Amino acid sequence: MMRIRVPAASLLGRLLVAAVAVVLSGCGPPTLDVSSPESLERSAAAIREILADDEEATFDEALFYLVGIPSLGITHGAPAIDEEDLDSLQFLDGRTADNVVAEARRRRLEEVRSAVNELEARRASSRAARRDLAAFRLSEATVFKRHRGYLEWPVMEFKIENGTNHFVAMVQIRAALLKPNHPTPWLVEELEIVFFDGLAPGESGRWRIEPEQQAWIQLIDPHPDLEFVIEPMRLEALGGRVLAATDFGAVEARRLDVFYHTLSQLRASGSLVLDQPPLPSLPPLALEQVGAATAEQGAS
């Protein structure tokens, strides 16, 4: 049997390398320990000690988005969470500050992309219907008021032109007041007009309709930032046969534009842009805090 003698110096060198590796493995960035509420607080505090102010703000934002508690590691007295909350926080165990921020960014990007994808799918699936609906033109919309008892009530008047090749028996219209850079209309209402004898292809005329919401009366002297949109969303022939229908209109198009802007901001910055739509789904612990704060306000 052949025996190989390892020089003492070489063996010593290997031992030193192994020892240094062990030391270095214990000198990595601190991680979260979710074994108990107290250990979570202590480990979060240890993480905060090595973070610059801007890094700590990013860490806080990530914690709020992921678990609803941005104050981990800075509370005084009792821990910010209870023993029963630990199960929902196990995904944080062993994570560094960078890992926490990366996970928050991954989830937020997924959330915004999902909202964008849903609206893009609705737009794509309704392309043919929207093309048919565009041939049924609504224009020259105005709002005036009339007295309904002691109230002043709005009346909408607009021109209808049936540019389709069908007799139309009913049109469902959506009226909306859109706010700039906002995904939710300030005011929206679905209206129906029934043409008892049918509206023939090429036929046109002016129609009046009373909306159910009195707030439309503000369009008599509209705010310059508000955009008034009135559009057909559904057409039916005599007998109730659907000619064209969509669930994607100006309201959804505006929402999609806003979501695109949020996605662009998210990709270009280190922030999660939680104040921009689509607004984040709050985790259970955040909802509890919001509920408690609301109850306190009500009691006071």
Position 18 scores a pLDDT of 41
Model pLDDT for residues 216-234, shown as the tens digit of each residue: 987 877 678 889 999 999 9
Instruction: Characterize the bridge pairing of strands 242-245 and 227-236.
Output: antiparallel
Position 5 scores a pLDDT of 47
145: phi then psi, degrees, rounded to nearest 5: -125, 150
**Helix, strand, coil share (%) of the chain residues, nearest 5:** 45, 25, 30
The reported pTM is: 0.79
> Which fold is adopted by the domain 127-246?
Immunoglobulin-like (2.60.40)
Instruction: Map tokens 């990007």 to a residue.
Output: 109
The domain limits of the chain are 17-124, 127-246
- Contact predicate 30/46, CB 8 Å: yes
> Hey, what amino acid is at 35?
S
The number of CA neighbours under 13 Å toward the Cβ of 70 is 11
CA separation for the pair 281, 106 (Å, rounded)? 14
> What is the band of 70 on the pLDDT scale with cuts at 50, 70, 90?
confident
Residue 234, strand partner residues: 172, 245
Residue 295, pLDDT above cutoff 80: no
- Contact predicate 294/80, CB 8 Å: no
Does the bond joining 278 to the residue before it have cis omega, within 30 degrees of 0?
A: yes
Q: 282 or 122, which is more confident?
A: 122
